[in-house]
Copies of this chain bind each other. A is one copy, B any other.
Amino acid sequence: MNLKELALRLGLSPTTVSRALNGYPEVNETTRARVMAAAKRHNYRPNTRAIRLATGRAMAVGHVIPLATRHEIVNPVFADFIAGAGETYSRNDYDMVLSVVSDADEETTYRTLRSKGNVDGVILHAPRLDDPRIPLLREIGLPFVVHGRSTGSATPYAWVDVNNRRAFQRATEFLLDLGHRRIALVNGLEFMDFAIRRRTGYLDALAARGIAPDPALMTSEEMTEISGHRIGARMLAQPDPPTAFLASSMISGMGVRRAIEERGLVMGRDVSVIIHDDDLSYMKNGEDVPIYTATRSSVREAGRIAAEMLLGLIAAPGQEPPHRLLEADLIIGQSTGPAPTGPAPR
């Protein structure tokens, strides 16, 4: 059942039927009702491909998922971010098209997406320092929103980000207030923009209390359980071990916890741990009470917001690039406590 056929049955022209269905004013309300009814009755759905060609809009947005060729890692937060964004898209009748692409091909992908007209805009994931994709997208004129920010980028751009600096600053302050002085930072890879900001927040808080950072307490690695465990174990074996850890993700936090418990110590009593919690649906920080004290910010919510921003940008191009800074909550769990006085047990 297509428009022409429906029009035929109604004894109307395709023009009128199209207008009736799309809510244009120049059609009699009685007629509109008739058309609507007939459309429903015959289960008519306009062909998306035709709409797209006729309107020149793709009614789709792209998410280009870079596959770091070296370690082939798929970022675990994607699933939730996309779930959030997806809700927004379906509500607005947009398709979400994903391109999984090795990062060598990323530039080509954007250019192709643009010239073939597959999408009306894209979300940029996992930005780095002075990310070259930002000027690229600007140059080819494809509307985009960055999930995160890119320190050093000269081009203005739209973004949605968590206030990572402030989150880690607050977390550090919280630990300092509990009396901790040796606080380890288990950070993600620092070519990623968010990792840099987190470190800055950590350093700022230390500096404000006049505490010199100890390089031996600062690491920057992939955020896996293994890596968290290795780092935790190594640091706790030091002569002057940290009494608290600040971990960039729940997963690495779990590794740290394992290292703590392996030494017969108790998390929250002997050693404190704060993690950053993306509030992933398949990785909850406890069921009712949080296990870990955490800086929490829902990545799913970020997805929703980024998607809305992008649709706005597509609808009204040429405006000043908007942005949104989300504050993370500091939620108190059972993994933190006052710094132990005296020598550590064992």
Contact = CB atoms under 8 A, between A and B. Distances in A.
A286 interface: yes
The bracket for how many chain A residues form the interface is: 35 or more
A74 B71 CA distance: 24
A19 interface: no
Quickly give the copy total for this chain. Answer: 2
A259 to B, nearest CB: 11
Nearest to A75: B282
Given A53-B50, A225-B254, A282-B75, A100 B86 contact: yes
A46 to B, nearest CB: 7
A177 interface: no
A104 to B, nearest CB: 13
Interface stretch (A113-121, A235-243, A309-317): A113-121
A141 to B, nearest CB: 14
A72 B224 contact: no
Nearest to A119: B95
A154 interface: no
A306 B101 CA distance: 18
Contacts of A52: 49, 52-53
Contacts of A87: 100
A86 B98 contact: yes
A48 B96 contact: no
Interface string A89-119: 0100001111111000000000010011110
Given A74-B79, A226-B284, A282-B74, A101 B97 contact: no
A83 B100 contact: yes
B97 A83 contact: no
B79 A116 contact: no
A189 interface: no
Contact of A49 (B79, B117, B258, B291): B117
Nearest to A85: B100
A114 to B, nearest CB: 9
Interface in A281-330: 281-284, 286-287, 291
A200 B43 CA distance: 44
Contacts of A98: 82, 86, 96-98
21 contacts: A45-B112, A45-B115, A47-B117, A48-B117, A48-B118, A49-B49, A49-B53, A65-B83, A75-B282, A76-B79, A86-B99, A87-B100, A95-B97, A96-B97, A97-B97, A224-B282, A225-B283, A251-B283, A258-B258, A261-B261, A261-B262
